[in-house]
A and B are shown apart, each in its own frame.
Chain A
Amino acid sequence: MQPILRNKKTLVAAALLMSMSNASMAGSNPFTISAQAIADVKISEITPLSFGTKVDGNAGSTCTLLSLEPADDDVNADIDSDGVAADTIGTGNAGSNWDAISGNCKTGGEASGVYEVAGEQGMTFNITLAAVVDTDFTFTPDYGCYVIWGDDTGTTAGDDSCGYLSTGTVSGIEINATGADTDADVNPGLSRFTVGGVLSITNDLTPNTSYNPTFDIIVAYD
């Protein structure tokens, strides 16, 4: 009887060893996941914004800069970066609302701000602009324009259009993607926008003086 009992014990032990062996094999099989980071969204300046050299610096003065209707074949104002002059944006020539100043300022040196955003093709992002309130003046970004790619509007090739950009956050702006923009597919991974606005003088400024304040533009993926 004793040997039989001993044999049973061995069997039990063997079964335990098998179990341990199975566990060891599962642990030795590595699995991997793969992931790739999206391209950073980066903003850069193409043309600095300027209200020009003839702003009336008296309290109560206002100067408005319109940055709509950019020309499409101008390097600095090629809002959709496609180098095509046939787009509806300005149709190759700046419209009357491009670089147009009015109010208590005169023509001379004014320029719409033009900015470029680099990011992941086809992703949408948002732009946030806020008013700058200085002791002596206020700058309210307004009358800007961002590209709505032609394919997004469902219209014919080359029919990019201009979205309105003002103070606050505008979302759903698309970064150009290869094959998505039907008219050019130039510069995939980029988008451009313009910024104009209203400069309001709240306290008398020093005559014949240049001012170079700053403002922030925040871009983020939606």
Chain B
Amino acid sequence: MKNLFKKSLIVALLASATGAVADTGTYTFSFTTVPALTVTEQQAIDFGQALALSDAATCVMQVSASQTVAPSEDKANGVAQVGQAGTFQTGTCASSVDGTTGQYGRYLVTGLLNSSVDVTVTGDTAGAGEAIEFDAQGYVVEYNTIARDALADGVLTNVQLAGGADSTFTTPGTTYIILGGTVTNKRDLTLGEVVSAGYTIDVTYN
């Protein structure tokens, strides 16, 4: 009897140790990534044949956020009214010798509708021997409030991409960046010389 009892105890302990006193659950944790933010150039910035020749001369293409244009005209190509002919260049620009008035830049931003996006436009600093330096200036369209948020060179500006309710004016999940800016000569230029400068448009989800 003693031996039998001992055996019974061992069996009971084994059952307890190998039974379901622990349990492991394997479960999903899900998430969905947002659409990529893209910036597409629809129209490049072109100052035309308007720069003065002397070192340190500046030429400004004024693209004003306060310019009065109906919101519907901010839709796609409607922004063409920005920078009316002959009026956007200030500073020491030479008269437009070839008759052109320059052309502002237009960029389409696409991403998640209604999302908050930070936009920063930064002109490159001219390296040694480079002809000109560019400082960007312009605006980005805020469809949520039907407004234009000013962009200054190197300054972060937050904007909300269009939502479904903004589809009257543009495609949901988009906005437009309109750019002009200031060109500063970094050396004397020669007549007819074609010069260029780089700049970067940085967009990130906020």
Contacts and interface: CB of A to CB of B under 8 A. Distances in A.
Interface of A: 26, 31, 33, 35, 37-38, 40-45, 48-57, 63, 104-106, 109, 113, 115, 132, 139, 197, 199, 205-221
Nearest to B115: A106
Interface of B: 1, 5, 8, 12, 15-16, 19-36, 112, 115-116, 205
A84 B26 CA distance: 30
Contacts, number: 127
A212 B15 CA distance: 37
The 9 closest A-B pairs by CB, nearest first: A57-B33, A220-B22, A51-B31, A40-B20, A207-B36, A43-B25, A53-B32, A49-B29, A208-B35
A50 B25 contact: no
Contacts of A216: 24-26
7 contacts: A41-B23, A106-B116, A132-B29, A199-B31, A209-B32, A216-B26, A217-B26
Contacts of A43: 23-25
A52 B32 contact: yes
A208 B31 contact: no
Contacts of A41: 20-23
B23 A55 contact: no
B25 A217 contact: yes
A214 B22 contact: no
Contacts of A220: 21-23
Nearest to B31: A51
Contact of A218 (B8, B16, B24): B24
Contacts of A26: 1
Contacts of A50: 29-31
B28 A48 contact: yes
A48 B30 contact: yes
B35 A139 contact: no
